[in-house]
Structure 1
């Protein structure tokens, strides 16, 4: 294999390591956006602003879908680079970084891996914190509902609230 193919020179439309790096940058940008959306969701939860929570959750889901697509594109680019470098097609980013023996690619791919690992850890923490907020809100709602008077009330002939035992239903059709 010539060094032009190895280092990403224009090779007639084939995916290069430059393309892979561009995919990795795009995925990192989406991970940043996901972090922002989860923090936004957390702010709404902590402020008790349930009105906008469905919008924030929908935006998180949209970013997750974009990330899924970006991940597939990155995996395809990584498989092509792995093939060019004589690595197995299912080589991980760590494997690619280790397989880039000369030039700046080992360091660059390792930096992408480190940054994405750190972003994933931050996202997990936000996800867990948001889930904890939701559990607390659900528990609070259940406790509030448990303390309300379970006996249904009706109104008597004078418009006062009466328990169902005091109310009477009369059939005036006779």
Structure 2
């Protein structure tokens, strides 16, 4: 397998990382706007992208190990080590650009994931508090004609 094939797999992985970032931003917009109805759909879409990303990462790892073997390196070599070992300066530059783009995407995705987790925890806490408040409402007495979801008496 060639460095070209590895680069193709890296491009695919980068495209999926971009899609993951988009889906996380989409989820964040839903959370911020209070559109909780669609958060489950966004989470499923994120899981779908993550599954495709796992497959692409495996494919890239296989291509990396082939290139490493061609260069006489161990199969578990990093992308940075591969880039440094490639003889052609143009391919070295391409691999280094892929590496930088992957690092940038990973950093952005980590920040989005952390922010979304905070929003999700806050939304969950608010929902639990709302349910607890509903559960703690006193049961209706004979004079108020039964339990009420909303207190309409002044």
Q: Same fold per TM (> 0.5)? A: yes
Larger Rg: 1
Equivalent pairs, count? 147
| Between 139-148 and 57-66, the greater mean CA deviation after superposition | 139-148
Q: Which residue of 1 aligns with 2:130?
A: 144
1:160 matched residue in structure 2: 145
1:5-16 correspondence to structure 2 within 5 Å: 15-16=1-2
Structure number with the bigger relative contact order (C-alpha 8 A, sep ≥ 6) is 2
Aligned counterpart for 1:94 among listed residues 55, 80, 100: 80
Question: Which whole-Å CA distance do the structure 2 matches of 1:27 and 1:149 have between them?
Answer: 48
User: 1:149 deviation in Å?
Assistant: 5.5
What is the CA distance between 1:155 and its match in structure 2?
6.7
Deviation at 1:17, TM superposition (A): 0.7
Query: Pick from 8, 26, 48: which aligns with 1:62?
Result: 48
Indicate the SS of the match to 2:136: coil
**Structure 2 unmatched runs, 5+:** 148-154
- d(CA) in 1 for partners of 2:51, 2:135: 44
Specify the alignment match of 1:110 in structure 2. 96
Which residues of structure 1 form unaligned runs of 5+?
A: 1-14, 163-174
The TM-score with structure 1 as length reference comes to 0.78
Which consecutive aligned stretches of 4+ in structure 1 deviate over 6 angstroms post-superposition?
A: none
Instruction: Please give the alpha-carbon distance, in whole angstroms, between the structure 2 residues aligned to 1:147 and 1:59.
Output: 33
RMSD: 1.8
- Distance of aligned partners of 1:96 and 1:135 in 2 relative to their CA distance in 1, 3 Å threshold: same
The CA deviation string for residues 132-169 of structure 1, in whole angstroms up to 9 with x for no partner, is: 0011112222333343462562574x87126xxxxxxx
Normalised to the residue count of structure 2, the TM-score between the two structures is 0.88
**Comparing both structures, which one devotes a greater share of its residues to helix?**
2
